[in-house]
Amino acid sequence: MRKKDFWKNKNVFITGVGGFVGSNLAKDLLKNKATIIGLTKNKNMDSLLYLEGLEKKIKLIFGEITNKNLLKKILSRYNIDICFHLAAQVEVGLARKYPYQTWETNIRGTYTLLEALRENKKKIKSIIIASSDKAYGNYPSKLLPYKENYELKANYPYDTSKACADMIAKSYSSKLFNLPIVITRFANIYGPGQLNFSALIPDVIRSCLLGKTFVMRSDGQSIRDFVHVNDIVEIYKLLSKNLYLNPKKFSGEVFNAGTNIKHKIKDIVKKIFFLTKKEKELKKVFKKIKTNKTKGEISIQYMDYEKLKLFLNWKPKFKLEQALPELILWYKKYFKNNNSI
């Protein structure tokens, strides 16, 4: 098998295919001639999946990730080779307000899928479970960046949901159940197609391009790491392929990914305002800045990717400062097509 032909005719199941990362992953795998079976909760026309007509090129199924009977039917009917579990409630603020809903989706959804995979007659070759840097919980800055062997110390609702799902996945990859699983813990992901405007970067860009008032939700001093969605798609392909071909080496492993670059939230806001030539508006933004930290969120988080580099010789190709101008152009085109500007 030639390297470039690996994905040809592979049956790939993506949960959360309508989301930001799921739709970008589907788009890339379609170019590699994979057959995509995607699960999404509902029809969201304002997503990359529909913006680029990807829904017409995949087998799209609507349903809940917690519906075990539906999952079993999908696995049986489509003879799945590789599974990416990306379905999740991803908003930290929403998790604070509605923890039960978040735990149902993120925890119950994960063990329901893995149990359906365990019970399926055809043994799947590769399962990628999307955890999060939030699963680590709050570590002192002197111990950052996070390492894969760090204990999970999640406390807040969203963080806890990802840590629980993470541990459940580890259990299913153990010798007891022996499912071929790799767990990924990524930093904040950004890039084209991110239309959840509660996320920082899309929110700031939208405010600047549409002339809306941007409101800082905190004092802006929190530190985060941001990794481009194209880098994430590349990691997913590398990990799933290597797990498929070499399960003994990869199954049960956990991989971090980020850029290992610390960004202060306030600085990112400034950068976008300058790139969109709205720097005069910054005084208004920072005049109304909140002096308190955002409740239910960790202050400092950034990731180490050395293990990925060791195993797969991977390193990030995109740096935030270099990627932002092109990303702003993408949003400008999106808003223009939607008659927003």
Residue 252 in tokens: 């049960």
What secondary structure does DSSP assign to 161-192, as a single string? HHHHHHHHHHHHHSTTT---EEEEEE-EEE-T
CB neighbours of 301 closer than 8 A, spacing ≥ 6?
133, 134, 136, 144, 146, 187, 223, 224, 225
What secondary structure does DSSP assign to 273-309, as a single string? HHHTT-GGGHHHHHHT--SSPPTTS-SB--B--HHHH
Under a CB-based contact definition with an 8 Å cutoff, are residues 239 and 128 in contact?
yes
| Residue 129, strand partner residues | 85, 183
Under a CB-based contact definition with an 8 Å cutoff, are residues 39 and 63 in contact?
yes
> Is 158 in the active site?
yes
Q: How far apart are CA 204 and CA 298, in angstroms?
A: 20
Distance of CA 196 to the CA centre of its chain: 12
Q: How far apart are CA 67 and CA 239, in angstroms?
A: 27
Residue 58 in tokens: 């995949």
Residue type, position 163, single letter = A
Residue 218 in tokens: 């905190």
The active-site residue, picked from 111, 146, 156, 158, is 158
Under a CB-based contact definition with an 8 Å cutoff, are residues 72 and 92 in contact?
no
Q: How far apart are CA 159 and CA 137, in angstroms?
A: 7
Supply the residues annotated as catalytic: 158
